Amino acid sequence: MTAAVVVIVVEVAVVATAAVAAEAVVVELVVVVVVVVVMPTIAIFFVLKVVVVEAVIAAAAVVVVVVIVVVVVVVVM
């Protein structure tokens, strides 16, 4: 009975240690992936976002100008 308990405890300890080690490896891999893949991606997305925002602002400005012109033309006519 005692031997069985000891074996179970040792196995649990080994599994737990292996899990922690594996988790550490996974965390390191995730960090590497994040640094290598996600950072440039974030940079690209940031640039794209700025470009898109500027494009949207420009489009909005054009729309506003068109609306103003239309309103002025309608009012004048």
Per-residue model confidence as pLDDT tens for the chain (77 residues)? 687 777 777 777 777 777 667 777 777 877 777 777 777 777 777 777 877 778 888 888 888 888 888 888 888 88
Q: How far is CA 46 from the centre of its chain?
A: 11
Integer Cα distance of 72 and 66 in angstroms: 10
pTM listed for this prediction:
0.37
Q: Which amino acid makes up residue 42?
A: I
Mapping DSSP onto H, E and C, the string for the chain reads CHHHHHHHHHHHHHHHHHHHHHHHHHHHHHHHHHHHHHHHHHHHHHHHHHHHHHHHHHHHHHHHHHHHHHHHHHHHC
Residue 14, pLDDT score: 74
- The 10s digit of each residue's pLDDT in 25-34 is 777 877 777 7
